[in-house]
Amino acid sequence: MRLVFADHEPHLKPNPRRDHMSGVPELSYSTLDRHGGRVLAPGQVVRTAGQSAPVGTIYRYDRLLVDESVIHDSDTREKLESAIQNTGMWLESQSASSIVAGQGSFRVPVLSSHGDQAAVDAWALLQRLRTVNDEANLPSEILDKVRLEHLMICSKGTPGAGNGEPPPGGGHSYSLGRIPVDMVNPMPDRKSLGRRLRVAILDTGVPTKHPAFDVSDRTEHEDTFVVVDHAFQVKIGEHSDSPAIPLDDPWEGPVHEPTLIGEVASHYGHGTFMTGLLRQISPDVQVYSLRVVHNDGLAYEHEVIGALHHVADQVEAARRGDEEAYNVDVVVLAMGYVDESPDDQPGGWIGDAINRLSALGVPVVAAAGNQSSDRPFYPAAFAAHPQPENAAPVISVGALNPNQHVAMFSNEGPWVSCYATGAGLVSTYPCEAKGSRMPDRRAKSAFLDRHRESHDPDDFSSGFAVWSGTSFAAPLAAAFLVNAIAESGMTEVDDAIQASARAHEALKRLKSR
């Protein structure tokens, strides 16, 4: 198992022949409805005259990201509200959705239809605002501060690509999916250390109890392998603006699909699996687990941005000497989206959050996505954007099969930095997960007080599973990086320049191996 680097620096390369729906995840109608989501298909939407056709993405149809400067300035806000009301819609609420005090990036207003005059659709609204735009009505500098909110999808294996679910039409390109297994090798011992290197995983969280690792809250100042943040999750819950269950607790389980069948939710245990990979490869680190992904694999762009700023706030406070702050050395992300911009250049605030961490010297390791596409998947594709001097790297990670060939499901392209094993991996999984699928055969044992049965496909009481996806290649890459940082002995850094130099030096050592 090793890290394979691209033989070039990551860059964005336009592909005029690309299918406009390339890279857009396939989601069920019920999943989209659960989150107020809609697929933007270029041939089915209105667009401003003279503007290039968009490319496909997934967005929240009744939400907009609006810069706080627009909301806080009464004249500017009134101009925006008036322009929206002229389309037959209004901003139902201007209440703050800032997840972290002082975050200062945006608000999420709720769109509502005025009688039967208009269907609520954020994309159509933006096009109409641009169509009627003139300097006397709604200046372009205001419009530039109003954007779609994307639904971000976690990059676990897709059907037919190692998820244990056959694709439509039968067949199976990967024989191993999310199935229960047992772990023969014990978890490596953890050394007693002073300052541990810390890896933030922004995902579905971890169970409160698992035989492979212990969990504590940040306020308890315990040397557990996993640290959660109840206070942050409460803020997420307080500002939840979705019909889906709020992420107001570090863990929710067990969770099943919202059908009468009772299958284990598609991404339940996703963050647990990621955490277990770090436990195997980097036992001496500490994982900071923030829950921003729902158990169906979707995350809201503004909540992910809020979590990234929260991590940055903690890093800044720790370097100022705040003993209550939680310093972080590496951030791992497994979710992302493809942008509607035809030149694949996102205009949202998530890039600002990534750049802020990078400027603080905190490298961000992000999964490249599982759509078998070369279309840039963000935030991973920020690895191809120019970085300021003295900034830590952004690393995009594709998936390899165990034989080191690129996994069929993995995205790849000139914007991908490196590849790590992401198919057929064994890691931790919530023990309480048990679905409705039954063994093919079952009989009473003739000699023991238990049954004889074939393999139960969704009884995870062993606490381990096999799974596939670039989601899991990303924490492996992060583990290699953090181990290389640990080899330097620089667990403590005083400022952003030192932290960034430490990350680049570790990356250089990995590339030379």
Catalytic positions, written as ranges = 203, 270, 471
CA distance 356 to 361: 9
Q: What are phi and psi of 396, to 5 degrees?
A: -100, 135
Encoding tokens for residue 121? 């659709």
| Residue located via tokens 């995870």 | 460
Distance set, CA 250 to CA 216, 366, 408 (Å): 11, 21, 33
Distance set, CA 483 to CA 274, 329, 394, 465 (Å): 16, 12, 17, 24
List the helix and strand counts (H, then E) for the chain: 11, 21
Label residue 191 left, alpha or beta by phi (over 0 means left) and psi (-120 to 50 means alpha). Answer: beta
Cβ–Cβ < 8 Å for 441, 454: yes
The DSSP annotation for 401-419 comes to -TTSSBPTT---STT--EE
Cβ–Cβ < 8 Å for 388, 144: no
Which residue type, as a one-letter code, is found at position 19?
D
Cβ–Cβ < 8 Å for 339, 346: yes
**CB under 8 Å to 352, separation ≥6 — which residues?**
105
Q: Which helix (H) or strand (E) holds 399?
A: strand 394-400
Pick from 362, 381, 370: nearest CA to 308: 362
Label residue 35 left, alpha or beta by phi (over 0 means left) and psi (-120 to 50 means alpha). Answer: alpha
| Residue located via tokens 């049965």 | 453
Exposure string of 369-390, with b = 16+ CB inside 10 Å and e = fewer, is: bbbbbbbbbbbbbbbbbeeeeb
Cβ–Cβ < 8 Å for 49, 131: yes
Residue 106, classed as helix, strand or coil, is coil
